[in-house]
Every structure is written in C-alpha cells, then in structure tokens.
Amino acid sequence: MKLFTANLRAVLVTAEMTLRQQATDGFILFAVLVQPLITAILALWMLRNQSGDNAIYAVVGSGMSGLWSSLLFICGNSITVERWIGTLESIAAVPTPMSIIVLGKDLANVVQSLLSMVVCYIAAVLLFNYNLRVEQPIPFVISLVLTVVSFISFGLIIGPIFLLSPAVQSLQNGLEFPVYILGGFLFWLGLLPQWTTPFSYLLTPYWAAQALHLSSSGGGSMADITFCWGMMILFSVVFVVVSRYLFRAILYRVRVDATLGLE
C-alpha cells in the first residue's frame, strides 16, 4: 500500500510539474489548441449546411487530432527531452521507477489535450451556431476515460521507442497525418482502399475515435461501442506489458552501457 501511495504521489507531482512547464510552451499550445481549432473550423465550414450530427462528428474528430498530435510529439518526446537537457541519467538514478515518471508526464499531456475537444465544441457553437448534443452521454464519458487510458498506455510505448531508435524518431512528422486518415477521425474509412483497413484495426486511436463517434452521434449500438471499449482495454494491457521491457532496455543502456546519452 505504501508503494502504491508513493508511486501515485510521484505520478501526480510529475503531472503537475509537466503542466506548469508546458503552460507557456508555444509549440504545445499550438498542437493542443490552435491546430485542432483550425481543423474544426475548416470541417465545420464545409458542413455548415448539414445537420448537427455531422457537426458533432467534426468536433469529436478535430479533438481526436489534437489528442493524436499530443501523443505523437509531446508524449513521444517525453524521455528524449530529458536526454537533450542532460537529466536522463538523474531520472534513471532516483528510487522512483522511470516508467512512473513517464506515466505522470503522459497523464498530463493527454489530459491537457482534452482541451482540443472543448475548444472545437465552443467553435461550433459560437462561430457556426450549432446546437450540439451528445446522444449517449454515459457511454461517451466512459469512451473518453478509456481513450485517455489507451493513449497514456500508447505513450508509454512510443516514448521509449523514439529514444532507443532515433531512426524512428526521424519519421515522427511523417506519422501524424497518416494516422489522421487511418484513424477515421474526420471521415468514413470506406472511402479508403480496402487493403488499408487492417492497419486501422491495429491503431488505438481508431478504436477510440470509433467509440467517441458512435456514442456522441448515436449512430451505433451498445454492442458496437462495447467492442471498441474491449479493443482499447486489450491494446492498453499489451502496451503496458511491452513498455516494461522497453524501460528495462533504457535503464540498461543508461546504467550499464552508459551509451544512451551519446546517440
């Protein structure tokens, strides 16, 4: 119990410090607030003569774009930045596990990114005079919570991968828009070639987007939404298990090889 309490406190303190540091970071503010807002305005303008169901779809999809950008760039660089500023070795040396510290960083980044959806909703109401409502509020809230959990778990994977393999990190910018497309954030996947569909099924953002779209617009049954929940939970468990081995590889290269900071 004491260990759990100590780890929880470390997660919350790390999340608070991360939020304080990022409150004035121009890049992060752009990724979380400005970019999703631009996407929402463009989508809503194109749908200005359509029904409110399409509008809530655009709002949720634009918010998902902000979540994905945060996951890819901010959570993905959560450990790499520590190496850049020379604090990676210090974090590896403290009693608190590195995975707990990164968990706190990812929690702050993903929760902060939920502002994307709020900003897009406000834009739809104020700029386009839409009367938006969520058709299934309780499933929507559950979907949102599971989205946060699945994105945090995904962040525990991509952070160590980007740190251990700089070659992957060099592709970071190129990964942003393909996931927008394959995740089905703003349009139906049936518009894409059929051979791309299996790639979508392997992406946590796809299942998160499906759960949020189905519950917000009321376009799916509870069985469909529950299946999306199950897939997010499954991927979250897999990501947490795999991340343990990735963090072990990082600690080995920091403490034994002493080569991680040289890359």
pLDDT over threshold 60, residue 36: yes
pLDDT over threshold 90, residue 232: yes
Tokens of 120: 């897009």
> What's the structural domain count of the chain?
1
Q: How confident is the model at residue 49 (pLDDT cuts 50, 70, 90)?
A: low
pLDDT over threshold 90, residue 121: no
Q: What pLDDT score was predicted for residue 238?
A: 94
Q: What pLDDT score was predicted for residue 34?
A: 84
* Average confidence (pLDDT) over 135-158: 90
Task: With both helix axes pointing from N to C terminus, report the angle between 52-69 and 115-128 in degrees, rounded to the nearest 10.
Answer: 150
Mean pLDDT of the chain: 84
Q: What pLDDT score was predicted for residue 96?
A: 85
Q: Find the helix or strand (DSSP H, E) in which 185 lies.
A: none
Q: How far is CA 20 from the centre of its chain?
A: 19
* Average confidence (pLDDT) over 23-47: 81
pLDDT over threshold 90, residue 227: yes
From the list 184, 142, 220, the residue with the least C-alpha distance to 58 is 184
* Lowest pLDDT segment from 92-101, 138-147, 204-213: 92-101
The 3-state DSSP class for residue 134 equals: coil
The 3-state DSSP class for residue 178 equals: helix
Task: Output the CA–CA distances (angstroms, integers) from residue 32 to 23, 35, 78, 177, 229, in the order listed.
Answer: 11, 7, 16, 15, 24
Q: What pLDDT score was predicted for residue 240?
A: 92
* Average confidence (pLDDT) over 215-229: 87
* Average confidence (pLDDT) over 231-245: 93
- How many whole angstroms separate alpha carbon 55 and alpha carbon 52? 5
Strands in the chain per DSSP E: none
Better pLDDT: 169 or 180: 180
Structure confidence by residue, pLDDT tens digits, 57-103: 888 888 888 888 888 888 888 888 888 888 888 888 888 888 888 88
From the list 261, 262, 263, the residue with the least C-alpha distance to 90 is 261
Q: How confident is the model at residue 263 (pLDDT cuts 50, 70, 90)?
A: low
- Own/partner pairs for 251-258, CB < 8 Å, 24+ apart? 251/92, 251/98, 253/164, 254/88, 254/89, 254/92, 255/92, 255/93
* Lowest pLDDT segment from 184-188, 235-239, 240-244: 184-188
Q: What pLDDT score was predicted for residue 115?
A: 83
Residue 87, number of CB atoms within 10 A of its CB: 11
Q: Note whether 207 and 103 are within 8 A (CB).
A: no
Q: How confident is the model at residue 226 (pLDDT cuts 50, 70, 90)?
A: very high
- List all residues 6 or more positions away from 138 whose beta carbon is below 8 Å from its beta carbon: none
Q: How confident is the model at residue 51 (pLDDT cuts 50, 70, 90)?
A: low
pLDDT over threshold 90, residue 40: no
Q: What pLDDT score was predicted for residue 234?
A: 95
* Average confidence (pLDDT) over 122-143: 83
Expressed in percent and rounded to 5, the helix, strand and coil fractions of the chain are 80, 0, 20
Show the domain range for 78. Answer: 2-262
- How many whole angstroms separate alpha carbon 57 and alpha carbon 43? 10
DSSP string, 49-110: TS-HHHHHHHHHHHHHHHHHHIIIIIITTTTHHHHHTT-HHHHHHSSS-HHHHHHHHHHHHH
Percent of the chain with pLDDT over 70: 96
